[in-house]
A = this chain, B = another copy of it.
Amino acid sequence: MDSPLNSEIESFFDSAPPLNDRAAISEKLKEFIALNSSESGTRRVACVTSGGTTVPLEQRCVRYIDNFSSGHRGAASTEHLIKMGYAVIFLYRRGTCEPYCSSLPDDAFLECFEVTKESAVQVCQPYSEAVKRAIRDHHAAVAGGLLLKLPFTTIFEYLQMLQMIAVSSRSLGPCSMFYLAAAVSDFYVPWKSMAEHKIQSGSGPLDIQLLQVPKMLSVLRKEWAPMAFCISFKLETDAEILLEKADMARKKYGMHAVVANELLSRKEQVVVVTNNGKIPVYRDKTSSDSDVEKPLTKLLVDRHSVYIKDSNT
């Protein structure tokens, strides 16, 4: 670790507040990886990241900068990956959409149930099948050891947990996939230079200086999990610059694929940028309950299959 990039990363981790529950998370990861590795053959394991990371502006945090992300993409993709035989480590922002909830109303708990005259709780008619499927599939995935959910809030928690997952997954070799759909902060305030208490208003305008978060994708690829199949996501609001920026990110960080998505159309179409071309992926518009994540994960799983085959020959 002596390149300028690595020293930047080291100083980011040094300045981060230590992770709560580090030992418990490590234990869960070890168990989950062991459960999905066996001598007869290793199951494919995807780490899906989802939701936005926060950047605290105060140590006893009242205010923070956040990145908009409902977590729908990560949650829906997790469901499809599990259906296609993957085990998934779901690293998600606390409170954002969870797998098997992506097709339900946001406040499913209050909207989908009613109490009958006989004082029993029942599902309201229009949601009956969807709710049953969601609860059953979620329980089956967790009980079957195919879904491990790890929540984060801040950028500091996210990057420390991503590192732990990557290092734990190393033993899976090419069977490991990173599907980095989280909206990660680009700028942060180093912990040590942060105000301890709530910043006081009343003394005029506020000026905030933010440093760039070092790009962890390179070090993920080169050091943390060099054999894993890595997919990152690029979101822009300006379609003009999107594809070019996605391709730049692919080359710069050595990603196997970059999914380019534009804020307004991201639920209808994305473009998968790889070293041999740009492949547009569309939601199946003939079906009302289809999503773009279904064809997207299908394409990426196929690519992952080729990657595993190539790695083994």
Return A265 CB to nearest CB of chain B, in Å. 12
Question: In the complex, are the beta carbons of A110 and B135 less than 8 A apart?
Answer: yes
**A267 and B106 alpha carbons, distance in the complex (Å):** 26
- From known contacts A119-B132, A209-B207, infer whether A63 and B67 are also in contact, taking CB-CB under 8 Å: yes
- Count of chain copies: 2
Contact residues in B for A198 (Cβ distance below 8 Å): 235-238, 263
- From known contacts A109-B104, A235-B62, A237-B198, infer whether A139 and B123 are also in contact, taking CB-CB under 8 Å: no
- From known contacts A108-B109, A110-B135, infer whether A183 and B68 are also in contact, taking CB-CB under 8 Å: no
Question: In the complex, are the beta carbons of A110 and B119 less than 8 A apart?
Answer: no
**A288 and B201 alpha carbons, distance in the complex (Å):** 37
For residue A84, CB closer than 8 A to chain B, the reply is no
Q: How many residues on chain A are close to B (CB under 8 Å)?
A: 62
**A110 and B109 alpha carbons, distance in the complex (Å):** 9
Interface residues of A in 174-207 (CB under 8 A from B): 183, 185-187, 196-198, 201-202, 204-207
A104, A110, A119 — most chain B CB neighbours (10 Å): A110
Query: Which residues from chain A sit less than 8 Å from chain B, CB to CB?
Result: 54, 57-58, 60-68, 94-95, 98, 100-101, 104, 106-110, 112-115, 119, 121-123, 131-132, 134-136, 138-139, 183, 185-187, 196-198, 201-202, 204-212, 235-238, 263-264
- Which A-B residue pairs are the 3 nearest by beta carbons? A186-B201, A60-B237, A115-B136
Can you show 5 pairs from A to B with CB atoms below 8 A apart? Answer: A57-B65, A63-B66, A187-B206, A206-B212, A208-B210
